[in-house]
């Protein structure tokens, strides 16, 4: 039988040229119809579920991050849709620019973290033999805004070489998905697959406030899931997962969560010496005039957080640029170094805007 002759399926008779053309036309038309139908249904689904596109973007982002984390074959991790969603918020250690030397004036806290968190991560071999020691599974960083809590959390992840799962509370409580519980579970299952890992929850008080009147069933269930999974890592000696929370309002944290965070570190407003250290770090990247006296400057900055100090230095640095432009100087000539006058001027401007701010009143140990 000649294989190049096309025959009728039923009768086995050879098809005429006309019949073959008709067959090809019909076949192409049905393939095109199927393609357009698929496109139409896809569009329809996008209208019914507008998050579909976002989910796809999140998935691609997650795949890329996981590859860069060193998980070459992401498929082997068998991540669920929910885990991929959480993984899109992943921060990998090599992308974290903050390390201990960027943090000024918090030496005691940094030492404590090195001892209680980093060392057990790094020297697991030795700590495993120590039956009485369980690495902490919950750490709370609390204190006024802009004093370095987020910096400490990121530097910890960098130094420990951990995957840093940055949870945004809204991501878990997003009512559109209505799948908060599955997402909460995915946080822990992903952390387990990627361990060693740190789950970081900024504004952890917001996460817990939901036990109030506004709380509704779905959120309450998500929280219950979260707590029981957290307990799971606490009781598992082999897990290398830690939950780190940060808050400006420690007094609003639910007792159930506080119990799960046995290490509570107060990250306070910097004192005068700490302000000198922060100034030295922040201004370390600029040229300073000889008249700059960091100790004198630091003394005048009472009530300034690390973030205020950074903002003040930025103002002082920009003042030179404005002067440069005003004087219509040639752009090839260098900017002059920052002077004490620039810094004092900038601190006065900051002081004025700060006087309208509400003070930070609630350290945890004074409740
Ligand atoms: N101790 C510090 N040393 C150096 N820079 C600091 C310090 N504290 C704060 N900063 C500067 O302020 C910025 C904000 O700090 P960070 O986000 O860590 O504060 P935070 O305590 O987490 O604030 P919030 O509670 O508002 O989230 C940092 O990016 C850094 O530029």
245 lines ligand 1 (CB under 6 A): no
What's the CA-to-centroid distance between 306 and ligand 1, angstroms? 6
Of 61, 88, 85, 63, nearest to 183 (Cα)? 85
Residue 281 alpha carbon, nearest atom of ligand 1: 4
- Give the homologous superfamily in CATH for domain 54-266: P-loop containing nucleotide triphosphate hydrolases (3.40.50.300)
281 lines ligand 1 (CB under 6 A): yes
Mutate to test the pocket of ligand 1, among 304, 306, 358 (most ligand atoms within 8 A of CB): 306
pLDDT value of residue 359: 57
Same-fold call for 54-266 versus 272-354:
no
248 lines ligand 1 (CB under 6 A): yes
Q: How confident is the model at residue 365 (pLDDT cuts 50, 70, 90)?
A: very low
Contact yes or no for 357/307 (Cβ under 8 A): no
* 227-261 residue pLDDT tens: 888 888 877 777 888 899 999 998 888 888 888 89
What's the CA-to-centroid distance between 183 and ligand 1, angstroms? 29
Of 179-183, 215-219, 243-247, 306-310, where does mean pLDDT reach its minimum?
Answer: 215-219
CATH of domain 272-354: 1.10.8.60
Nearest Cα residue to atom 25 of ligand 1? 145
Determine the average pLDDT of the residues in 165-172. Answer: 78
Domain residue extents for the chain? 1-48, 54-266, 272-354
Of 81, 146, 142, 73, nearest to 357 (Cα)? 146
pLDDT value of residue 49: 63
ipTM over 0.95? The verdict is yes
Checking if the pLDDT of 211 tops 70, the result is no
Strands of 197-202's sheet in order across: 90-91, 163-167, 197-202, 241-247, 138-142, 263-266
Of 127, 199, 115, nearest to 157 (Cα)? 199
* 46-74 residue pLDDT tens: 666 656 677 777 778 878 888 887 776 66
Determine the average pLDDT of the residues in 135-156. Answer: 91
What's the CA-to-centroid distance between 69 and ligand 1, angstroms? 26
Of 106-110, 119-123, 261-265, where does mean pLDDT reach its minimum?
Answer: 119-123
pLDDT value of residue 323: 81
196 lines ligand 1 (CB under 6 A): no
Helix, strand or coil, per DSSP, at residue 165 = strand
What's the CA-to-centroid distance between 146 and ligand 1, angstroms? 4
- Tell me if the pTM is above 0.80: no
Nearest Cα residue to atom 18 of ligand 1? 148
91 lines ligand 1 (CB under 6 A): no
pLDDT value of residue 354: 75
Which tops the pLDDT comparison, 42 or 141? 141
Determine the average pLDDT of the residues in 192-216. Answer: 76
């Amino acid at each position: 039988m000649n294989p190049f002759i096309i025959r009728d399926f039923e009768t086995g008779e050879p098809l005429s040229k006309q019949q073959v053309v008709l067959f090809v036309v019909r076949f192409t038309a049905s393939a095109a119809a199927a393609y357009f139908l698929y496109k139409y249904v896809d569009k329809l689904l996008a209208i019914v579920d507008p998050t579909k596109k976002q989910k796809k973007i999140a998935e691609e982002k997650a795949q890329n991050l996981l590859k860069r984390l060193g998980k070459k074959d992401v498929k082997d991790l068998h991540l669920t849709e929910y885990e991929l969603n959480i993984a899109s918020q992943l921060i990998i250690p090599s992308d974290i620019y903050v390390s201990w030397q960027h943090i000024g004036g918090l030496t005691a806290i940094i030492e404590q973290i090195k001892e209680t968190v980093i060392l057990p991560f790094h020297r697991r071999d030795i700590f495993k033999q120590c039956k009485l020691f369980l690495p902490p599974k919950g750490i709370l960083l609390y204190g006024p805004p802009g004093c370095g809590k987020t910096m400490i959390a990121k530097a910890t992840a960098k130094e420990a070489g951990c995957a840093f799962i940055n949870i945004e509370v809204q991501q878990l409580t997003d009512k559109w998905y209505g799948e908060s519980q599955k997402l909460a579970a995915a946080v822990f299952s992903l952390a387990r697959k990627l361990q060693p890992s740190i789950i970081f929850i900024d504004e952890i008080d917001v996460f817990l406030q939901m036990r109030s009147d506004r709380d509704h069933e779905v959120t309450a269930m998500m929280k219950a899931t979260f707590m029981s999974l957290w307990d799971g890592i606490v009781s598992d000696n082999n897990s290398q997962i830690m939950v780190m929370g940060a808050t400006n309002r420690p007094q609003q944290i639910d007792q159930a969560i506080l119990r799960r965070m046995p290490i509570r570190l107060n990250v306070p407003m910097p004192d005068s010496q700490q302000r000198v250290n922060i100034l030295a770090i922040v201004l370390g990247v600029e040229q300073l005039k000889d008249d700059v006296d960091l100790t004198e400057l630091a003394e005048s900055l009472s009530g300034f957080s690390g973030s205020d100090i950074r903002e003040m230095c930025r103002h002082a640095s920009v003042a030179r640029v404005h002067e440069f432009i005003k004087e219509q100087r040639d752009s090839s000539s260098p900017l002059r170094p920052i002077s004490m006058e620039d810094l004092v001027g900038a601190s006065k401007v900051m002081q004025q805007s700060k006087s309208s701010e509400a003070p930070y009143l609630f350290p945890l140990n004074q409740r």
